[in-house]
Amino acid sequence: MFKPRWLLALSRLGLELWLPLPLLGLGFWIVGGVATDQVLSRAYNPGVHLQVNQPNLRRRSLLLPSTTVLSIRVLINRPQGISQVKINPTHSALKELTFEFPTTEASQVEAAIARELDLAPAVVRRLIHYQIAD
C-alpha cells in the first residue's frame, strides 16, 4: 500500500502517535468549555418552594420542625422524687436533650415531655423507655 512521503517520515521519527494528541486535547478543551458554559448559564429552579409558617407565639418547641425523636429514656428516682429524661433527636446539631422533672408519676412525666417538645402524647408514649431507681 502506498503511504505519502510525509507519513513515512513521521513514522520513522515516532511522531505518528504523538502528533494527534495535541489536536485531541484541543478538541476536549473546546467541547468541555461549551458544555460548561451551557450548564453554568442554565437557570436554577429546584422545583421545591420555600414554605414559611408563622411561629407559635405562645410557646416555641426546643426541636426544629424537621427533627424527629429517636428515643426517650426516663430514669425515675423515687427516693429523690425526680425524673431525669434524656432525649435522642435525629438532628445532627443536637446530640442529646436532658430534662429533670419534679415528679415520679409516668403520666405526669409523659405530659411534661409532650409539653416541652410540643409533641402529641401518643408519640411520646410510643418512644419512651422507663428505668426505675429505688
Question: Going along 39-96, which residue ranges are E strands?
Answer: 69-77, 82-89
Neighbouring C-alpha atoms within 13 Å toward the C-beta of 31:
6
Sorted by where each begins, the domain ranges of the chain are 5-37, 69-133
Q: Decide: helix, strand or coil at residue 76.
A: strand
pLDDT along the chain (134 residues), means of 10: 73 73 92 93 75 60 67 91 89 79 91 86 90 84
Alpha-carbon distance 111 to 33, whole Å?
62
Strand order in the sheet with 69-77: 97-101, 82-89, 69-77, 128-133
Q: Which fold does the domain 69-133 belong to in CATH?
A: Double Stranded RNA Binding Domain (3.30.160)
pLDDT at 3: 74
Q: Is the pTM of this model over 0.75?
A: no
pLDDT at 27: 95
pLDDT at 37: 92
Which residue type sits at 12?
Answer: R
